[in-house]
Structure 1
Amino acid sequence: MHVRAGFLVATLVVALCPPVHAEPGPRDVARARQAVRDRAKELGTASAELAEAQGRLDRLAAEAERLVEAYNGEVVRLRQAEQAHREAAARQGAATTEVERARQAVAMLAAQSYGGLPLPAEYLGMLNDHGDHDGYLHRAGLLRQLGGERGLLLTRLRDAEEVAEILTTHAASVHAAQQYAAEAAERAKIAAREAVARQRRETKELRARRDELQRLVDAARTRAELLARRRQTRIGHVPLSSGSSMGDVAANWALTQLGKPYLWAADGPASYDCSGLTMRAWERAGVRLDHWTGTQWTSGPHVPLDQLRRGDLLFFGYDKNDPSTIHHVGMYVAPGLMVHAPQTGDVVRIASMWRGDLVGATRPR
């Protein structure tokens, strides 16, 4: 490849800068024109190979990001399941306490009915027979012996036991849901880790190939063309805004994180993934977001791209018409520009927002 690139450069120099000699004849002109056509053909082939390599890199990054965001979503759902389990366990504990209070009241009443004497062991067994239908009939017969008005205590005990049983079943169900969420989060974590590792391996090879092709393409261009291409792809400094809106606060803070490395599932302060960066930026503006593109997409009204303001979130997906395919998020900071945490091996940086997979924008609130 290096020999080919060297040949290409040498031939291009000869073609563009032929040695000075007498007026060229028709054959010289024909040869020069043919050389230009040959170089243009080689340049077209190299450019196509470069585009293919870059496309492969983009697909690898998008797939890794999709799995990272899937993991972030599972973590959000796990936290919700853990909270639901804590609440269910608290309700179950309160119901169990109420059952015990009701049972003690019934036992005390029975003892009083026997003149303050200890309740016979067989009666205590009847009262403490949890949830058993026959035990309930025994208790009912016992309390009929103790008096009809005081049968209300048995009703209280029975109702408390039924509530406790229902809440115990519910708590078990919520616990199972929590376990499932934990397992799903672990599976998503493993899938994300494997995708990032695969991306790193293949990216290293593809970047080497891409860089080689880029050198070939650059060698085939005139200096003026090369400088023009570099000017088009170079993104200048985006100054901090003096505005005080929440979007300005979020955007200004995000710009202070430039150069920090991308790390999947990270949310600062030393490194970030895409949704971790935007979450922390809007946190500085007083708006709480989940660490997940799935809910960040629905965190506020969707904004037309011709009405963007600093701080608006820009979302990217496999299908421009299907938000469920979103795998990346950045933050609008200036006309045509965003700040984002791109992918493994990269850093927080400013980039053009105009990508083919741009789905839409959201203004958090």
Structure 2
Amino acid sequence: MRAFRAGLLVGCLLVALCPPVEADPHPSSHDVEEAREAVRDRSKRLGKANADLATAQSRLDQLAAEVERLVEAYNGEVVRLRQAEQAHALAQTRLAAADVEVERARQGVALMAAESYIGLSPMKPIVGMIIDDGGVDGFLHRAGTLGHLRNERSAVLARMRDAQEVASIMRTQAAGAYAARQSASERARQAKLAAEAAVAGQRRDTQELRARTRSLQRRVDAARSRAELLARRRNAALAGLVTGGSSMGDMAANWALTQLGKPYVWAADGPETFDCSGLTMRAWEKAGVRLDHWTGTQWTSGPHVPLDQLRRGDLLFFAHVTADPSTIHHVGMYVGRGQMVHAPQTGDVVRVASIWRGDLVGATRPR
């Protein structure tokens, strides 16, 4: 119990001596600079991510080109396969014709064998000529007949040999054409498999690229949301800059502060995007003063005001050479407390910033 009371007492003393820290409703310039640095850092990471995306896209393009090459290789093998099929079909036709010729020759030989079997052997005509009593004329006639038979048999045998030789050649050619067909078919199959594998790889890479693109888009959106959030927080922190004054300068400044967080776009003058002179032109338009969309004529739109006499709505100009107004490149609008509202540059948004920059030339009060 004593320990509890002692702890309670210590706790009360700590509360009394160390009150809770309240959030500063007015961020310091250091806080603002840290916020800007966070935006710049996010922009750098986003730039690197975009570079990675470009590299991934390049790899995908290379893969697509390789797939096209493989598909064309497959198409070539298909053409060669068709040619091999045509050669094989032609060889088969020729082989069939050769087989028919062989069969005819074989029938002739078979007939000759049958004739020999039934008594018309080569010896019988010779014996007949010896025992025949027909005289010399009969002998010569039978000798001629025997020579004719022998020539016919020789022709039949020669025709059969020729037919067999032709058939053998046709068979060899058919076998070669078939082998070529099989080889072409296998090459076509391998090329097709390679193309299919490459397409599958391309699909995987594409899916990965799409997922990465979605992730990058989320990062871009997050960066944009972060920038807009910073603008809103600064707007809220600097809400005291908006006054209830009714002068034209107050009207212009108050309207310009309502545009915080809108993106900078070159040559834009609203309503969703602005460049520097487009923002100031529209702000003073709300106050009833017509300005050109150009820093050159906005600089001469009214009397020049000493920096120690600035009023809300005055235009602040910045130049490459501070002694030479012809080099003015940027304009902002004074909103009080040494702050201005302006549209800075590409990649940034309308925001509040200090007027004290090294390139500050001077101020103009439009009328």
The structure with more helix, counted as a fraction of residues: 2
Structure with bigger gyration radius? 2
Shared fold by TM > 0.5?
no
* Greater relative contact order, per chain length (Cα 8 Å cut-off, separation 6+): 1
Instruction: Compute the TM-score of the two structures, normalised by the length of structure 1.
Output: 0.40
Q: TM-score under structure 2 normalisation?
A: 0.40
